[in-house]
């Protein structure tokens, strides 16, 4: 498991673009179909925008039609935290980065086999590292 990274809210505000700050630190959600990674097709790793922990590999990405980048599984289950989310009168499971505790999105049980999971993640919570000959973990 990655070492946890702690910053003050002032440090997060200085480090992150406004949209990323609102998503990662205030649990906002970006509008569907407006984000940079929903149609992104390059090979590589999607990383946390807050701490650059590799979270999802492009091979696990699929088009869910939801308007947000969707993944069938994380690179490593230990990099993702899950907790109940009952905000907005809904019963969901929130997905967090285990390294910086940033809000990423939600996970649902309507994804493709074999996992059956759909990690519905905000683009503003992500960065991308293009695949190279080096290990992306």
Q: Is 34 exposed, middle or buried (0-12, 13-18, 19+ CB in 10 A)?
A: exposed
Within-domain flag for 82: yes
Within-domain flag for 3: no
Q: Please indicate, yes or no, whether the overall pTM of this predicted structure exceeds 0.85.
A: yes
Q: What average pLDDT does this structure show over 34-43?
A: 93
**Of the ranges 5-19, 60-74, 88-102, which one carries the lowest mean pLDDT score?**
5-19
Catalytic, 48? Answer: no
Q: Which domain holds residue 110?
A: 9-130
Within-domain flag for 85: yes
Catalytic residue among 48, 51, 97, 120: 120
How many domains, in total, are found in the chain? 1
Strands annotated E in 1-137: 44-48, 54-57, 61-62, 70-71, 80-85, 92-97, 103-108, 118-121, 126-130
Query: Rounded distance, CA 58 to CA 43, Å?
Result: 5
């Amino acid at each position: 498991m990655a070492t946890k990274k702690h910053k003050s809210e002032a440090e997060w505000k200085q480090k992150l673009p406004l949209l990323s700050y609102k998503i990662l630190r205030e649990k906002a959600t970006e509008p569907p179909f407006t984000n940079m990674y929903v149609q992104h097709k390059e090979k590589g790793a999607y990383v946390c925008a807050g701490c650059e922990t590799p979270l999802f590999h492009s091979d696990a990405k699929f088009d869910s039609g939801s308007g947000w980048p969707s993944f069938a599984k994380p690179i490593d289950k230990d990099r993702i935290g899950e907790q109940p989310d009952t905000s907005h009168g809904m019963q969901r499971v929130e997905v967090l980065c285990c390294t910086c505790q940033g809000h990423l999105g939600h996970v649902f049980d309507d994804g493709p086999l074999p996992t059956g999971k759909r990690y519905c993640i905000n683009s503003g919570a992500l960065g991308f590292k293009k695949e190279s000959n080096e290990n992306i973990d």
